[in-house]
C-alpha cells in the first residue's frame, strides 16, 4: 500500500493520495510509514523537477498535498507522543535573494512530523536575521534553503555573518536546494548539505541529541 501512496503523491493524484492515507490509518498503519512514503514521493518529484518534467506549479501542488497529509496524520503522531516532547530546536529559512519556499516547507513538514521543533524564518531572509534567530532560539541546527544558483554566494555570506557574530560553534549548519552539490557545499563552510527532505532528517538525527 505504501508504494501505491508514493505513486499517488508523486503523480499528484490528490484525491487518491488522501484516500489512501485515510485508509492506511483506519487499518492501523504506523503514521511513520506514511511519512516514509511521502519522503520517497518527494524525492521522485524533486528528480522530475530537476529533469524539467515537473515545473514550479507541480512543486506547489506537491507541497500543498503534503500539507493536507500532514493535517491528517498529525493527530496520530501526537497520540504516539502524548507528552509532545519536541526535539531541537531547528531554524530554517530561504536565504536573501530567493523567494522559493516549496522545498523549505517540505523539509519543515518532515522535520515536524519526526518530532522536531522548527522555527521558520520565511523567504528572502537576510544574513542578520539568521544571526538574530540563532541568538533568540538557540537552535542546534540551522537549515539554509535556496533554489536559485545565483544565491549560492549568499550561503557563504550568511555563514560568515554567523561566524563573525561568534555563534558558529553553537550550531550545525546545513544548506539545501535542487542545484546544491558538493562543490557548492565545500565553498560555503557548511556542515552538511542535501537536495531532499530525507537528508535533512538524517542530519538532524545525527546532530541533535
> pLDDT-derived band of residue 1, with 50, 70 and 90 as boundaries?
low
Could you tell me the fold of the domain covering 2-80? 1.10.1240
pTM of the model: 0.74
Question: What are the backbone angles phi and psi of residue 191, rounded to the nearest 5°?
Answer: -95, -20
Give the mean model confidence (pLDDT) for residues 54-83: 79
Q: Could you tell me which residues come within 8 angstroms of residue 24 by beta carbon, excluding any fewer than 6 positions away?
A: 1, 2, 5, 33, 34
Question: What are the backbone angles phi and psi of residue 168, rounded to the nearest 5°?
Answer: -65, -35
The CATH homologous superfamily for domain 87-207 is Cobalamin-binding domain (3.40.50.280)
- Proportion of the chain in helix, strand, coil states, percent, rounded to 5: 60, 15, 25
Q: What torsion do the CA atoms of 34, 86, 108, 204 make, to the nearest 10 degrees?
A: -90
- Express each pLDDT in 2-11 by its tens digit: 789 999 999 9
- State CA 56 to chain mean position distance: 17
Q: Could you tell me which residues come within 8 angstroms of residue 191 by beta carbon, excluding any fewer than 6 positions away?
A: 172, 173, 174, 203, 207
Cell of 94: 530561504
The pLDDT mean for the chain works out to: 89
- Express each pLDDT in 90-142 by its tens digit: 999 999 999 888 778 878 877 887 789 999 999 999 999 999 999 999 999 99
pLDDT of residue 78: 64
Which residue spans within the chain are E strands per DSSP? 87-94, 116-120, 141-145, 172-176, 192-194
Write down the domain spans for the chain.
2-80, 87-207
Amino acid at each position: 500500500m505504501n508504494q501505491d501512496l508514493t505513486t499517488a503523491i508523486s503523480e499528484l493524484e490528490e484525491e487518491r493520495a488522501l484516500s489512501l492515507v485515510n485508509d492506511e490509518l483506519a487499518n492501523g498503519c504506523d503514521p511513520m510509514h506514511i511519512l516514509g512514503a511521502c519522503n520517497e514521493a518527494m524525492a521522485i518529484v524533486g528528480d522530475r523537477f530537476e529533469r524539467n518534467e515537473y515545473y514550479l506549479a507541480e512543486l506547489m501542488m506537491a507541497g500543498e498535498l503534503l500539507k493536507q497529509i500532514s493535517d491528517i496524520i498529525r493527530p496520530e503522531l501526537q497520540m504516539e507522543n502524548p507528552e509532545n516532547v519536541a526535539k531541537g530546536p531547528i531554524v530554517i529559512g530561504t536565504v536573501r535573494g530567493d523567494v522559493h519556499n516549496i522545498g523549505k516547507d517540505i523539509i519543515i513538514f518532515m522535520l515536524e512530523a519526526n518530532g522536531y521543533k522548527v522555527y521558520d524564518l520565511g523567504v528572502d531572509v537576510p544574513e542578520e536575521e539568521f544571526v538574530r534567530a540563532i541568538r533568540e532560539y538557540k537552535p542546534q541546527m540551522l537549515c539554509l534553503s535556496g533554489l536559485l544558483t545565483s544565491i549560492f554566494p549568499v550561503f557563504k555570506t550568511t555563514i560568515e555573518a554567523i561566524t563573525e557574530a561568534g555563534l558558529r560553534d553553537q550550531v550545525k549548519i546545513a544548506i539545501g536546494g535542487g542545484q546544491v552539490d558538493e562543490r557548492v557545499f565545500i565553498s560555503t563552510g557548511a556542515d552538511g548539505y542535501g537536495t531532499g527532505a530525507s537528508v535533512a532528517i538524517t542530519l538532524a538525527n545525527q546532530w541533535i541529541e
